[in-house]
Structure 1
């Protein structure tokens, strides 16, 4: 093995590289490459001593890291995450420091996919830029489905990875590895955003420079808060007419209740938008080149000096409210240095106290690279994020996971997808290393599975790898699991929390047009359910229909169309049905006896107690308050089963029951005739009678509806909403357009899209999101009950 030459030692010392010489110092001294006399010379000795010192520090650190790691692997609960992080091997720490796991999320049509396309181009991941609705019909890289390219919207989240090279403060190139997930903006596909944010360390929240914070922006903000995801913000579409980035900054502060400040000032706006001024470096940045691939740095234009000074003062003032170091400087009336500002922005962003706001135009290829710099400067690496698991071996005690390759493996499956090679499972590796051919254990069912293939995803393309380290994202083949399952290497009894899954709000009946397609129809239904937790399939035995449920009309329409394209199954669908609910009215006592004797063993079960509202519409509750053992434990289990079955299909209109509490406090059994079946049936009968005697009500889903249209159509839109029984909560009036926030019954919103287009000459748009359940108007309840009774009578005739 050759020892480093004198020139190389000098280069390492001068350039500040931390990589140590491979040989021991004494070996190096004996080397013919470097003489003892040369080492003692005044020109070389300092450089050599510097490298030796770095090497010695690394050797000591590695030794300490090994000891800590050994203790952690032997007994994970004895060491804290902080202790392991503090003693990471320098090589491992350096690797993690250069990793970013981010998502791009926003309201629909804010430019997420267009922005992602530029990120991939500027990082060298793709060789040419294609637009979402481009004339070349190729479509953006991340929109891999034909339906996405045809409709110009993102339907499924798509994962990719790229490397971004950024110069550090010493002018040395630093390469960062970025795992990126592009998410849909339409509310119907919110589960894609939900599960992406569950496994990411940071995010870029994109806003439109004209519209600012919109309805889905608020939803995405809520999802980011749910999983404690730090974010930077990017105000896109600065080249559009009416662009006002500072309005967006104000709305982040006021509507999202997140302290925010611009870290850039635009140079021009609308069709005169040229670039940005960086408030940290105080330089003007312009994109040059055919596709804006090069960044040109200039002095700040004189006409912007006052605006820049004002906005920098606002940035410092906002940071002073959330960061102690800047607050101290602010009180002392000292100007923070660029390094102090960057460090404060990073601290405040990672601690979820602040979001820096960048601005640019992805479509015009302007100011995307500074946003990428913001990703690596201000968003956390995997070691800076707290990820928790529950240790099943220690009564579900909370354990912090450490993104260290040598620790036992822990990963989370967050997305399933069918491919030509079988089921593809996306996994975030939180701890340890996932290797090809390794056995992993599913914490949910304790099944052991082998990992035959590991790939990195680039939209719909794959790159095969042999292993994936901690803090990374990959996909594996041949692993049978469900979305949200935790995997370990078997040494640890850890499980991680899954993602939040909203309940479907709309349903419709579906069947294949031709009976010969029944097998493919069943395959499609099974696959779509496995991939999408918000897509539900049930079979109504009374109507003998297959019912699909989802988050909205578009959601279900997409799956019907995918069935036709991917499985060649044409389907007939019924009218969309609202997911109504039923709830109890008042407290009702019950004392129900089920007694049947038909020769031989009969049925005998007596249940006593009461039913009442729970006080909220979130759940149902079954409570047993038996004293003296009048009903045995196994029969009480049967009573609870009967209660749960009754709640699945209420007696009023056949929909699910919410907000109902059943208490069983007494009863009676027979020595030979009592059975679990008898008590289940008795409970169901008691439930039905008590429920109908309680003055029950039908609940309807109310939707948060946001309508935006040009100002001249405001009266027509309000009239349209009033006609549909909407409750208008707020109205915002801008220069050229207005926005109405309303609560609307889902039942009243069918066909609203067509009516809105007609009333606004095609210029209006709206979004809906489930808000809550509320009692339906009395007339609607009467109609639904009458319709259900009639349908029941017709079925009984058959």
Structure 2
């Protein structure tokens, strides 16, 4: 591990395809935006020899060639894979966005990884979203370590940051979160700040000096030893408490000196089991340096302490039809089971799928079975399974914008597959003879709607295909063609998610769209009983048009729909034309009678009418029925009905008051609260949907990123008259 005296691995940092699962480590970097994840990945690539000081590799590629959108927004918006090699082990570093809008990319990284590095800034601390993510990893037993960055910031304090991590991440066992090293500060500069120059290993009591830009090991000075005694004792006790050797604690308490090799082995086992979480420090290499502070220690922790793919449980599998299948193991000779964890489009290569191989071996030019759960474009429910056979093209591993060819991807490894045209993010790749479907991972529900329309005629032709490809790439995005408002709605996770989606439509697929105000599905109904007469009489040579009908409309309870009652006597309206009147009434109800919204929950009674033996027709009585309904509406008060959602808001206890006050200000009715373990409260409320169009953004602000919510349709209720009048006036004025 990092406290060993280790040699530099030389040029072995240029990772090739792994030949066995035991030589692979899949590590996801997690942390809030600005914590330094991408900088840390670059520092690890430099230390491993994957890039030179300028960030270039031998064939000219650059690790920093990110997506153009990331360049413009100055932040990561997508999952990226950087493979490096250290001491003969291939390390797949999965760099994730820290911004909440791109949590789908983060969850894909968690799915592909076997361990997590939580990157926290010594200057900024730990935010609520990172704390929640730690708890999620704890539930599934994912091994975790903590890396403290920005140690040279003015307010940085490693000891204080470690204490915060122990309090936030340690929970009931703060001794499971302990540093392996103490930062050693150099000489104080003119500004009064002493930069971090090296690390002192607590187990070996060796000093690792990085002042030259490369790691140099030496004995600590006499004055350093008192600084580390207390921290070293606490670390040893923490390791022993998690040791599988139950006699070790008794021997230690009896005064026996513990062998460093034994402690290191126990430490590595505890980290791999996910019960011990070491804290390390890291910083980029200085100018002209080849190793950043703490990067050697971190690489050794990853290779020595993090589990191999063989040690992690594989997600459950079934047949595509849902029949159970035996649990898989991480065996290169086993049945093929791989998963698309990310889909992207390259302007030159086309669609590129990042794939994690869980079982078997993936090879170029093989035909595989693609199966997936998918999402319904109209709802949150799963759509019918999609399946297809596709031929695997070239396999490669990414490095910046480059793709380096590989001959295979064994169980436990990751690789990119080009031109899998039918595969979407989350789909399973399996052998054609033994098709499988892996259980899906949890993705957040997109709850921020944005209505869009094509900017011009040329965009209309490409819009459908562009949107389909966009949604196939990003499972946290949902497309809806609203049948009531006739709007095309893209559901996203937040405003930044919306911006990136529209930018990708424009730059990748050549589709320019405009965002328009999002409409909710209002309804209309009668507030009181009304009578009306529809008269459609025209004579213009030849057969004329003649139809008269008299109706009564009365309101019904919610959910009744439209009832049509025939009470005509004496044949005033011939029997063959009564369905025509009903058809005209229902057609007009679908169009609305006041503001253009569907009319619901009424009973229409046909009382009387007149017909002509020659000029009456089906079309004439349809028109008369429509006119009669409109006349009834003109003589009555019309209520606008707005959709009401059942909201379930999960929020940290300290923000409950703010959330409930905000809901009340949105005309919400809180129906109850429920305490949830972990200092969280579930707030249930009914609230008009028109009031929560931006709630995904507003709740994040109210709860400092810790709140989340779900929504389901509850009912339609009469809108307050003041709001309804504004809408009716706007519609009447062509608004």
Q: CA deviation at 1:356?
A: 0.8
**Aligned position for 2:392:** 451
Aligned partners of 1:93, 1:139: CA distance in 2, in Å? 21
* 1:641-660 to 2 correspondences below 5 Å: none
Q: 2:478 aligns with which of 529, 536, 539?
A: 536
Pick aligned residue for 1:327 from 249, 254, 279:
249
CA distance in 2, matches of 1:600, 1:476: 63
Structure 1 pair 787–275 and aligned structure 2 pair: CA distance change class (3 A)? farther
Does 2:335 match 1:413? no
Q: Is the CA contact 2:359–2:411 (under 8 Å) kept in the aligned structure 1?
A: yes
- Tell me, yes or no, if the aligned pair for 1:505 and 1:578 is still in contact at 8 Å: no
Q: What is the CA deviation profile of residues 515-548 of structure 1, one whole-angstrom value per residue up to 9, with x for unaligned ones?
A: 2222233333222111111122222343332222
Pick the aligned partner of 2:366 from 438, 444, 447: 438
Indicate conservation of the 8 Å contact 2:150/2:283, yes or no.
yes
State whether residues 447 and 696 of structure 2, in contact with CA within 8 Å, keep that contact through their aligned partners in structure 1.
no
Q: Which structure is higher in helix share? A: 1
Q: 1:795 to 1:772 in 2, by over 3 A?
A: farther
Counterparts in 2 of 1:722 and 1:276: CA distance versus 1, 3 Å: farther
Q: 1:311 aligns with which of 223, 231, 234?
A: 231
Match of residue 492 from structure 2: 550
1:293-372 alignment runs, 5 A limit: 294-325=214-245, 326-362=248-284, 364=286, 365-372=292-299
Partners of 1:115 and 1:128 lie apart in 2 by 14
Higher relative contact order (CA 8 A, sep 6+): 2
Q: CA deviation at 1:407?
A: 2.1
Q: Is the alpha carbon distance of 1:494 and 1:561 closer, same or farther for their aligned partners in structure 2, counting shifts above 3 Å? A: closer
The 3 A distance-change label for structure 1 pair 212 and 323 is farther
Structural mapping, 1:227-242, within 5 Å: 227-242=140-155
**Match runs of 1:465-476 below 5 Å:** 465-476=406-417
Aligned counterparts, 1:250-329, within 5 A: 250-256=163-169, 257=171, 259-268=176-185, 271-289=194-212, 292=213, 294-325=214-245, 326-329=248-251
Look up the match of 1:609: none
Verify the 8 A CA contact 1:426 1:473 in the aligned structure 2: yes
CA distance in 2: counterparts of 1:434 and 1:410, whole angstroms = 9
* Alignment correspondent of 1:148: 70
Residue in 2 aligned with 1:158? 80
Change (3 A) 1:773 1:456: closer
Contact 1:197–1:227 at 8 Å: present in 2 too? no
Partner of 2:23: 98
SS in 1 for 2:89: strand
SS at match of 1:127: coil
Per-residue CA deviation, residues 192-243 of structure 1 (Å, 9 max, x unaligned), is 0101111211121111112332123224324434553212211111111121
SS of corresponding position for 1:304 = helix
For normalisation by structure 2, the TM-score amounts to 0.66
Aligned-pair CA distance for 1:342: 1.7
> Aligned with 2:161: secondary structure?
helix
How much does 1:767 deviate?
A: 4.9
For the pair shown, which has the larger CA radius of gyration, 1 or 2? Answer: 2
1:693-728: CA deviations, max 9, x gaps?
x99954567586999xxxxxxxxx99x99999999x
Q: Does 1:248 align with 2:189?
A: no
Equivalent position of 1:373 in the other structure: 300
**Partner Cα separation in structure 2 for residue 179 and residue 302 of structure 1:** 40
Task: State which of 446, 453, 477 in structure 2 corresponds to 1:511.
Answer: 453
SS in 1 for 2:705: strand
Residues 590-609 of structure 1 correspond to what in structure 2 (within 5 A)?
none
1:379: Cα distance to partner?
A: 0.3
Matched, 1:565 2:507: yes
Name the CA shift for 1:297/1:475 in 2 (closer, same or farther; >3 Å): same
Task: Specify whether residues 400 and 543 from structure 1 end up closer, same or farther in structure 2 by C-alpha distance, changes over 3 A only.
Answer: closer
2:331 is aligned with 1:404? yes
- Correspondence 1:522 to 2:449: no
The alpha-carbon distance between structure 1 residues 385 and 599, as it changes in their structure 2 partners (threshold 3 A), is farther
Q: Shift in Å at residue 576 of structure 1?
A: 7.1
Q: Deviations over 1:483-533 (max 9, x none)?
A: 222222144454322221111121122223222222233333222111111
Query: 1-side partners of 2:409 and 2:204: how far apart?
Result: 37
Structure 2 CA distance for partners of 1:177 and 1:519, relative to 1, 3 Å: same
After superposition, the Cα gap between the structure-2 partners of 1:93 and 1:696, relative to the gap in structure 1 and judged at 3 Å, is closer
Deviation of 1:784 after TM superposition, in Å, equals 11
SS in structure 1 of the partner of residue 215 of structure 2 = strand
Does 1:426 pair with 2:354? yes
The reply to whether residue 110 of structure 1 matches residue 35 of structure 2 is: yes
Instruction: Give the deviation of 1:118 after TM superposition.
Output: 0.9
- Partners in 2 of 1:195 and 1:788 — Cα distance? 47
Q: Distance in 1 between matches of 2:294 and 2:576?
A: 85
8 A contact 2:32–2:130 mirrored in 1: yes
Distance 2:513 2:642 in 1: 40
Superposition CA RMSD, Å: 4.8
Q: Is the Cα–Cα contact under 8 Å of residues 506 and 577 in structure 1 kept in the other structure? A: no
Asked whether the 8 Å contact 1:275–1:360 carries over to 2, the reply is no
**Contact kept? 2:493, 2:696, Cα under 8 Å:** no
Give secondary structure in 2 for the equivalent of 1:347.
helix
The alpha-carbon deviation at position 771 of structure 1 amounts to 1.9
User: Secondary structure in 2 aligned to 1:274?
Assistant: strand
Q: Distance in 2 between matches of 1:124 and 1:575?
A: 52
Task: Check conservation: 2:397, 2:406, Cα contact below 8 A.
Answer: yes
Shift of 1:591: 9.6
2:319·2:325 contact (CA, 8 Å) conserved in 1?
A: no
1:262 offset after TM fit, Å? Answer: 0.6
1:123 paired with 2:48, answer yes
Describe the SS at the equivalent of 1:196.
Answer: helix
> Which region of structure 1 is more displaced relative to structure 2, 510-519 or 529-538?
510-519
For residue 90 of structure 2, give the secondary structure of its aligned residue in structure 1.
Answer: strand
Other-structure match for 1:387: 314
* Residues in 2 aligned to 1:142 and 1:701: alpha-carbon distance in whole angstroms: 41
Gaps of 5+ in 2: 1-16, 187-192, 287-291, 373-385, 523-556, 567-574, 580-596, 598-638, 671-680, 686-690
Distance 1:545 1:272, change over 3 A: same
